[in-house]
């Protein structure tokens, strides 16, 4: 009975204990890396936040309309705070993954590698979305002003369409970066855009021939229809 | 400092051969073969008639014309007998040269200034190459105040229809007068006289790779002259008739160029204009007269429609550019009857000042801000036309004078908004408007 207890219980426990003892240095290393990582994350996050404040990053974001967009989305913190916090969590997650890989356990190692390999794609897609948003603002504002100055009655519609066009392209590119339904997104985007262009061509070319003719005549000869020609020399 | 790369070797050789000159007249050109001959003959006759004993040089700075413009310049001669000019003591030297740099009038002027400096010219003038109304007397009126009266800068004063030059009348003249304290009626006329010393001063400015070189040169020259303390005057040249440019062609591009140059120069010369109060008259040379000019047809309905579309569609953009009370004051114009459409002088002054401040603070891409001014400008022009349609040119000029006085009266508003943390600068003694000497 005693021998049974020693064989069935003690020996596995001893083996487990040995494994744990063998793992202890790795666990200790993990804790040290995690602690150092947490400290580094806090410091780097704080430095980034302060640096962005010093260079006036929040003022630039005000001018670019990013702050206004965030406020509309319910985010009230300054962008420098958010980026600081983002950097903090980024460094911390990186430290956590590095700490876990020190344990030398195969499944964890593989997870860590694929997670780290995915981070650049995450960052790139975030950058694409941000650039796409800023570009859509710029393009729609330029289109709106040009359309109003040209006297185009549907100026706001055209500006909104240009904004959505740029943002949809940016979203499609971001999804492609993330590897989410790549083929579906590319195909869907191509089909939709092609369909819109084809529909417009058919509508103006065939289905609304007379309307297109009237529209173009009215648009191109707007100044001629006026009773009085404008001879102003502005300079 | 001389720039050795500015002139071609042939031009360098010609300049060395000529040595020095008393008077230099520059004509920038690009594909003006049909008009430049007349301009060259008028300049030649003017130099021979009014400065017969002065060493004179005519410089054609060409932007790579493909219609043989330089050949026309070379071949243009004057029948001095028919002009009753007999006393030509000094030959006229012609320099026909391409210019280097960014394509535009500014780069052409830079070449002319450089040649003027190398030749140590005492008095210079520049005239447009498409002028049809230039006479030999223009040369006397642009050069004599420099050569014999000690002025540094001569601005043109043209006889114009009351609705001609509406950007000048509603923006450029009131703003430059209010800022710099000199009543230069047509600061962007296009034909100027200036001293050789002022040409050297212009050359030393680092603007030749900027937008000034493309399209801001006229207002830049005038602003730099007054801001530097140069002695400025004006000369009455009569009507300016030149090749018609398409009047509807990209008005917003014109506003971008002119207003953009004005606002940029405000940033650069803040220390000068922020301490000036009021304005002083500027000596006007020449025999003034009034004749009927060609009528100008104006389509007020289209302009008001453009303004109202701007008010409807550009309101979010105008809200970023304008002070809230300024924008609020525009709303009653949305639905009022055409005959009641009126943008008051005070409102217009506030609009321009707010736009200048918004430009400085970079509230949006600057080109967007300037282009968004187009409907506002059209609204103001329509309002001015409606207000003055029954008035003579002189009476309409009286309205412009009232507008300028309003700009001057509201200048503290501009100063307060320009530097909100330095409002106490208003307490500084205003700069005297007596004619100072050109700074070294």
User: Across the interface, do B313 and A231 touch by the CB < 8 Å criterion?
Assistant: no
pLDDT of residue B422 exceeding 60, the answer is no
Closest residue in B to A63 (Cα) is B363
Closest residue in B to A153 (Cα) is B309
- Does B241 contact A at CB distance below 8 Å? no
Q: What is the pLDDT of residue B243?
A: 74
Q: For residue B389, what are the contacts with CB-CB under 8 A and spacing of at least 6?
A: none
Q: What is the pLDDT of residue B24?
A: 96
Q: What is the pLDDT of residue B88?
A: 58
Q: What is the pLDDT of residue B1?
A: 57
Q: Which positions in chain B touch A233 (Cβ < 8 Å)?
A: 164-165, 245, 247, 296
pLDDT of residue B249 exceeding 70, the answer is no
Closest residue in A to B257 (Cα) is A235
User: Across the interface, do A231 and B363 touch by the CB < 8 Å criterion?
Assistant: no
Q: How confident is the model at residue B216 (pLDDT cuts 50, 70, 90)?
A: confident
Q: Which positions in chain A touch B379 (Cβ < 8 Å)?
A: none
Q: How confident is the model at residue B116 (pLDDT cuts 50, 70, 90)?
A: very high
Closest residue in B to A223 (Cα) is B302
Distance from CA of A82 to the nearest CA of B (A): 23
Helices and strands in chain B, H and E counts: 19, 8
Q: How confident is the model at residue B128 (pLDDT cuts 50, 70, 90)?
A: very high
* Half-sphere exposure (Cβ direction) of B123: Cα atoms closer than 13 Å: 23
- Does B258 contact A at CB distance below 8 Å? yes
CA pair distance B162, B296, nearest whole angstrom: 9
pLDDT of residue B347 exceeding 70, the answer is yes
Q: Which positions in chain B touch A147 (Cβ < 8 Å)?
A: 313
Q: Which positions in chain A touch B310 (Cβ < 8 Å)?
A: 148
pLDDT of residue B428 exceeding 50, the answer is no
* DSSP three-state, residue B309: helix
| Maximum alpha-carbon separation in chain B | 69
Q: What is the pLDDT of residue B170?
A: 96
Spans in chain A with pLDDT lower than 50: 224-228
Task: Supply the pTM of this predicted model.
Answer: 0.81
More confident residue, A212 or B20: B20
**Of the candidates B254, B302, B310, which has its C-beta nearest A148's C-beta?**
B310
Token pair for B69: 């413009």
User: Across the interface, do B165 and A234 touch by the CB < 8 Å criterion?
Assistant: yes
Q: Which positions in chain A touch B381 (Cβ < 8 Å)?
A: 232
A28: left (phi over 0), alpha (psi -120 to 50) or beta: alpha
Domains of chain B in sequence order: 9-83+91-285 (3.90.550.10), 300-427 (no CATH)
Q: Per mean pLDDT, which range of A20-29, A183-192, B40-49, B53-62 is the poorest?
A: A183-192
Q: What is the pLDDT of residue B28?
A: 93
Q: Which positions in chain B touch A151 (Cβ < 8 Å)?
A: 302, 305-306, 309
Averaged over B8-19, what is the pLDDT?
90
Query: Is the ipTM beyond the 0.95 threshold?
Result: no
**B387-398, pLDDT tens digit by residue?**
998 888 889 999
Distance from CA of B410 to the nearest CA of A (A): 25
pLDDT > 90 in chain B, percent = 68
More confident residue, B224 or A93: B224
Q: Per mean pLDDT, which range of A11-25, B250-264, B265-279, B400-414 is the poorest?
A: A11-25
- Does B252 contact A at CB distance below 8 Å? yes
Averaged over B17-44, what is the pLDDT?
93
Chain A residues whose C-beta is within 8 A of a chain B C-beta are 63, 138, 141-142, 144-149, 151, 153, 155-156, 223, 226, 228-235
pLDDT of residue B430 exceeding 70, the answer is no
**B350-390, pLDDT tens digit by residue?**
999 999 999 999 889 999 999 999 999 999 999 999 999 88
Distance from CA of A232 to the nearest CA of B (A): 6
pLDDT of residue B145 exceeding 90, the answer is yes
More confident residue, B252 or B26: B26
């Amino acid at each position: 009975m005693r021998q049974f207890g020693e064989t069935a219980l003690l020996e596995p426990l001893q083996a487990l204990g040995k494994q744990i003892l063998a793992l202890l240095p790795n666990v200790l290393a993990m804790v040290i890396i995690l602690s150092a990582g947490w400290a580094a994350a806090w410091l780097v996050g704080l430095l980034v936040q302060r640096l962005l404040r010093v260079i006036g990053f929040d003022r630039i974001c005000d001018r670019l309309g990013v702050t206004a967009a965030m406020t509309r989305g319910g985010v009230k913190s300054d962008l420098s705070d958010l980026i600081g916090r983002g950097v903090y969590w980024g460094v911390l997650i990186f430290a956590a993954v590095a700490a876990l890989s020190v344990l030398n356990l195969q499944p964890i190692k593989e997870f860590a590698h694929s997670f780290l390999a995915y981070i650049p794609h995450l960052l790139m897609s975030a950058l694409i979305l941000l650039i796409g948003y800023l570009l859509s603002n710029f393009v729609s504002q330029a289109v709106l002003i040009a359309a109003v100055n040209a006297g185009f009655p549907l100026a706001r519609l055209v500006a909104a369409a240009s904004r959505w066009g740029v943002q949809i392209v940016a979203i499609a590119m971001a999804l492609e970066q993330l590897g989410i339904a790549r083929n579906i997104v590319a195909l869907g985007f191509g089909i939709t855009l092609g369909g819109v262009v084809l529909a417009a061509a058919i509508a103006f070319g065939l289905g609304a021939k007379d309307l297109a003719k009237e529209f173009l005549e009215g648009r191109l000869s707007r100044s001629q229809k006026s009773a009085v020609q404008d001879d102003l020399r502005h300079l | 400092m001389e720039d050795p790369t500015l002139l071609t070797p042939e031009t360098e050789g010609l300049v060395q051969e000529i040595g020095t000159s008393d008077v230099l007249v520059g004509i920038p050109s690009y594909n003006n073969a049909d008009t430049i001959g007349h301009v060259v003959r008028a300049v030649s006759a003017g130099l021979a008639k009014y400065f017969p004993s002065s060493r004179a040089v005519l410089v054609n700075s060409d932007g790579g014309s493909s219609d043989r413009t330089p050949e026309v310049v070379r071949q243009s001669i004057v029948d001095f007998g028919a002009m009753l000019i007999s006393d030509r003591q000094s030959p006229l030297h012609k320099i026909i040269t391409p210019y280097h740099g960014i394509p535009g009038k500014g780069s052409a002027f830079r070449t002319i200034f450089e040649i003027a400096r190398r030749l140590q010219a005492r008095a210079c003038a520049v005239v447009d190459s498409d002028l049809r109304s230039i006479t030999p007397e223009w040369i006397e009126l642009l050069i004599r105040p420099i050569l014999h009266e000690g002025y540094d800068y001569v601005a043109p004063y043209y006889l114009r229809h009351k609705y001609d030059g509406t950007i000048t009348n509603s923006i450029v003249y009131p703003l430059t007068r209010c800022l710099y304290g000199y009543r230069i009626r047509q600061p962007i006329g296009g034909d100027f006289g200036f001293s050789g010393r002022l040409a050297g001063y212009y050359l030393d400015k680092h603007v030749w790779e900027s937008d000034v070189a493309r399209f801001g040169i006229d207002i830049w020259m005038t602003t730099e002259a007054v801001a530097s303390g140069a002695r400025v005057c004006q000369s009455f040249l009569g009507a300016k008739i030149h090749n018609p440019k398409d009047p509807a062609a990209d008005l917003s591009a014109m506003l971008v160029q002119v207003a953009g140059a004005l606002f940029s120069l405000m940033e650069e010369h803040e220390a000068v204009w922020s301490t000036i109060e009021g304005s002083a008259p500027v000596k006007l040379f020449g025999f003034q007269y009034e004749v009927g000019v060609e009528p100008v047809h104006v389509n007020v309905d289209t302009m008001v429609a453009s303004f109202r579309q701007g008010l409807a569609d550009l309101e979010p953009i105008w809200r970023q550019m304008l002070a809230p009370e300024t924008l609020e004051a525009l709303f009653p114009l949305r639905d009022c009857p055409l005959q009641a459409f009126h943008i008051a002088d005070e409102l217009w002054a506030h609009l321009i000042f707010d736009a200048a401040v918004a430009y400085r603070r970079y509230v949006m891409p600057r080109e967007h801000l300037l282009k968004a001014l187009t409907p506002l400008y059209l609204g103001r022009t329509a309002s001015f036309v409606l207000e003055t349609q029954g008035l003579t040119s002189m009476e309409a000029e009286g309205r412009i004078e009232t507008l300028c006085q309003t700009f001057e009266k509201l200048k503290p508003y501009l100063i307060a908004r320009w530097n909100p943390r330095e409002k106490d600068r208003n307490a500084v003694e205003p700069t005297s408007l007596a004619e100072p000497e050109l700074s070294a």
